Amino acid sequence: MQYDIHPIFIHFPIAFLFFYSVFVVLPLEKWFPRIQWKALRIILLVVGVLGALIANSTGEIAGNLNRPDKNILNSHQWFAGATTFFYVVLLISESISCIKNFIHKKISFKTLQKLFSFIEIILTFKPLIIILAILGFFSILITGILRGIMIYGTTADPLAQLLLKLLGI
């Protein structure tokens, strides 16, 4: 007998990734300068991304067990994948400075070192990080609304009808 274990695994990644986005968007480093924000953000991302990967795989099982509307399920899966993608890029962005010295020692070609430095400059650009965190937050929100529609229908959430119209479902 198979069980839908997706709800067990989905809530922690949502919380960790949500708080990561809040910590990036709000100027908390200015308000609380003694806290090691970078380490905290990396921990939130590592746990959140690993949880999201587990949640994505258990979501496949849930989709086969529950058999919701295919269009809504496909949209839910797409936004869940987009969420995971945004936060994986943010994890790379946050941790790239930690592995920079290691990479430069291992790569002896100047062209690859310059390419890596260029990628680092792009991925550590603060406005890009903020934009990705906001996009990740909204993709979490949309994914959750779609999951709610699959479980409770369109009347439980006031945003459900609007989202379905926007998505053309």
Per-residue pLDDT band at 1 (split at 50, 70, 90): very low
Model pLDDT for residues 41-56, shown as the tens digit of each residue: 999 999 999 999 988 8
Per-residue pLDDT band at 20 (split at 50, 70, 90): very high
Residue 63 has a pLDDT of 65
Query: In this structure, what are the phi and psi dihedrals at residue 143, rounded to the nearest 5 degrees?
Result: -60, -45
Residue 57 has a pLDDT of 82
Residue 42 has a pLDDT of 92
Q: What's the whole-model pTM score?
A: 0.86
Residue 104 CA: distances (Å) to CA of 14, 92, 115, 158: 34, 16, 11, 52
Residue 66 has a pLDDT of 66
Please give the DSSP secondary-structure letter assigned to residue 6: H
Model pLDDT for residues 124-165, shown as the tens digit of each residue: 889 999 999 999 999 999 999 998 888 888 888 888 888 888
As a whole number of angstroms, the distance between CA 50 and CA 59 comes to 14
Q: Where are the domains of the chain?
A: 6-167
Model pLDDT for residues 70-90, shown as the tens digit of each residue: 888 889 899 999 999 999 999
Residues 6+ apart with CB under 8 A from 78: none
